[in-house]
Amino acid sequence: MKVIETFKLSKTFKSLFRKRRVDALQQVNLEVEQGYIFGLIGPNGAGKTTLVKILLGITYPTLGSANIFGLPISDYHCRQRVGYLPEDHRYPPYLTAEGVLHYFGKLSEIPPEDRCQRIDKLLPLVKLQEWRKVKVKKYSKGMMQRLGLAQAMINDPDLLILDEPTAGVDPIGRREVRDILLELRERGKTIFLNSHFLSEVEMICDHIAILHEGRVIKSGPLEELTRAPHEYELRVSHLPPVVEQEIKGKVVSYSRDNEKLRLCAESTATLNSVIDLLRKHKVELLSLEPKRTSLEELFIRVVREGEVV
């Protein structure tokens, strides 16, 4: 089931001080499947927050349409199943964690008894049970982010839209937030994540989209996008020099680090011929893995190329 669908979604801004138009988004097409963690990444000014605001009805597209749970974003009912955590969220310093969640629960029209039950479940989930009656002015940045996640989940949403959920959080806090998101995915929640932390996106996201200058220039399953085509790492037992020379003649590129062989084959047929050669000479193949590029390397490459895929 598709949770989010956008169709040639565009947004244009006109400067108040200059007679020029700024195209914040240009024909953005996205699909987010149910039960996945979807990562939206891009440089500053790429249009990520604008896209999030359009999906939430905070701002309006100039052209195109988008659906959430099959309903157009112009229909406010689609947002009843959505939880949102903005990048720079703040709460009145005199409120406690309980008070914050009760406040947002009231905004969501959750009855008092249900609200109490949900708060009792959410605070242990975000590891704030012992801090529930402490005023938020005493909270660290990491605690504020975890409280923000609880606030976004108070209406028990099926879709969480999170804008930079670990911004300004220390490594331990980022790990805690990641663990919460993974647990939510296990519970069947869909998470739309906007983040600059590429290493974290790589750890938890199933699908990604790279937004650059208002356009989606690459999107798809993370595992597929970071797979280097026809590049492999093999671990073998003792490799005779004559066999090594024959392998070099079969592949596009070859390197070796003790028992590790790194090679680029023109096709899977070439890779199979290398494996057959090893078997023929009774060289034990200990492991074989497709070589992967990091998300950071992929990001830098496609942003520099700027080619829409």
Can you list the domains of the chain with their CATH numbers?
Answer: 2-222 (3.40.50.300), 227-292 (3.30.70.100)
What pLDDT, on the 0 to 100 scale, is given for residue 238?
Answer: 85
Q: Quick check: 218 and 225 in contact, CB under 8 A?
A: yes
Q: Quick check: 52 and 41 in contact, CB under 8 A?
A: no
Structure tokens at 181: 């998101």
What pLDDT, on the 0 to 100 scale, is given for residue 201?
Answer: 92
Longest dimension (CA), the chain: 77
Residue 15 Ramachandran class (φ > 0 left, ψ -120 to 50 alpha, else beta): beta
Q: Quick check: 257 and 234 in contact, CB under 8 A?
A: no
Residue 204 to residue 197: CA distance in whole angstroms: 11
Question: What pTM, to 2 d.p., does this model score?
Answer: 0.81
Q: Which residues contact 59 (CB under 8 A, 6 or more apart)?
A: 11, 50, 53
Instruction: List the pLDDT tens digit at each of the 309 positions of the chain.
Output: 789 999 888 988 766 555 667 778 888 899 999 999 999 999 888 889 899 999 999 988 888 999 999 999 999 888 889 999 998 889 999 999 999 999 999 999 999 999 999 999 999 999 999 999 999 999 998 899 999 999 999 999 999 999 988 877 888 888 888 999 999 999 999 999 998 889 889 999 999 999 998 899 999 999 888 877 788 899 998 899 999 999 999 998 899 988 899 999 888 899 999 999 999 999 999 999 888 788 988 898 888 876 554
Beta strands in the chain (DSSP E): 2-14, 21-33, 37-41, 63-68, 71-72, 82-85, 159-163, 190-194, 207-212, 215-221, 227-236, 253-257, 260-264, 285-292
Residue with tokens 């988008």: 66
**Phi, psi (degrees; rounded to nearest 5) at 302:** -75, -30
Q: Quick check: 219 and 208 in contact, CB under 8 A?
A: yes
Residue 67 to residue 75: CA distance in whole angstroms: 9
The three state secondary structure string of 23-68 is EEEEEEEEEEECCCEEEEECCCCCCHHHHHHHHCCCCCCCEEEEEE
Single-letter amino acid, residue 33: E
Structure tokens at 267: 């096709």
Structure tokens at 48: 């990520």
Residue 248 to residue 230: CA distance in whole angstroms: 15
The closest alpha carbon to 62, from 4, 122, 119, 13, belongs to 13
Structure tokens at 238: 């003792």
Structure tokens at 60: 């309006």
DSSP assigned state of 101:
H
Residue 76 to residue 74: CA distance in whole angstroms: 6
